């Protein structure tokens, strides 16, 4: 770990008591949901991590608890450093406080996570689906959402497959 990054980790550890892990040079801090907004504010205002590079989630499986891991990835343009925050989120009524007040691009990123994983962001100004149509059911990037495909119809089995095709029939 770079010494500058270590000082960042120490500062965050002092304020929030977090565990850190490292894999292939990527440093990740493990946060809990209640601290994330304060941590984001501290990153932006005190530690010069002004760029929220990305925000994404991982579904660990419907039977796991906590089911989701949400990643916040910060970049410091001034100090040329990067660090990730990982927040576990429960599978039942998954929700997190919004950070769109702190980082404006979190607005769409959180909408994406709501659309794709069904994670609600409390206090979000505009939590609508972003990629899928508004009336869509389900959250596609969850592991229990099937990838799905269309069964090809050939002349010999056209009618047989047509029965199960999901479109309005006469």
Which of 36/57 has CB closer to other proteins?
57
HEC readout, 91-130 = CCCCEEECCCCCCCCHHHHHHHHHHHHCCEEECCCCCCCC
- Which span sits near other proteins by CB under 8 A: 4-12, 31-39, 122-130, 151-159? 122-130
Q: What are phi and psi of 106, to 5 degrees?
A: -65, -20
Instruction: Using alpha carbons only, give the angle 78, 82, 85 rounded to the nearest 5 degrees.
Output: 130
- Which span sits near other proteins by CB under 8 A: 11-19, 49-57, 87-95, 156-164? 49-57
Given 63, 92, 93, 147, the residue binding other proteins (CB under 8 A)? 147
Given 7, 13, 32, 105, the residue binding other proteins (CB under 8 A)? 105
Given 7, 13, 54, 90, the residue binding other proteins (CB under 8 A)? 54
What distance in Å separates the CA atoms of residue 15 and residue 144, rounded to the nearest whole number? 37
- Which span sits near other proteins by CB under 8 A: 1-9, 11-19, 80-88, 156-164? 80-88
């Amino acid at each position: 770990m770079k010494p500058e990054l270590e000082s960042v980790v120490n500062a965050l550890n002092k304020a929030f008591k977090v565990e850190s892990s490292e894999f292939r040079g990527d440093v990740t801090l493990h946060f809990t949901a209640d601290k994330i907004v304060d941590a984001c504010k501290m990153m932006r205002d005190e530690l010069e991590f002004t760029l929220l590079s990305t925000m994404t989630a991982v579904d660990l499986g419907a039977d796991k608890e906590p089911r989701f891991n949400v990643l916040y990835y910060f970049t410091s343009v001034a100090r040329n450093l990067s660090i990730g925050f990982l927040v576990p989120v429960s599978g039942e009524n998954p929700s997190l406080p919004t950070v769109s007040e702190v980082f404006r691009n979190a607005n769409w990123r959180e909408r994406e996570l709501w659309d794709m994983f069904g994670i609600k962001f409390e206090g979000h100004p505009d939590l609508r689906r972003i990629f899928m149509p508004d009336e869509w059911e389900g959250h596609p990037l969850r592991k229990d959402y099937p990838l799905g495909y269309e069964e090809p119809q050939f002349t010999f089995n056209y009618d047989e497959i047509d029965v199960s095709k999901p479109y309005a029939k006469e």
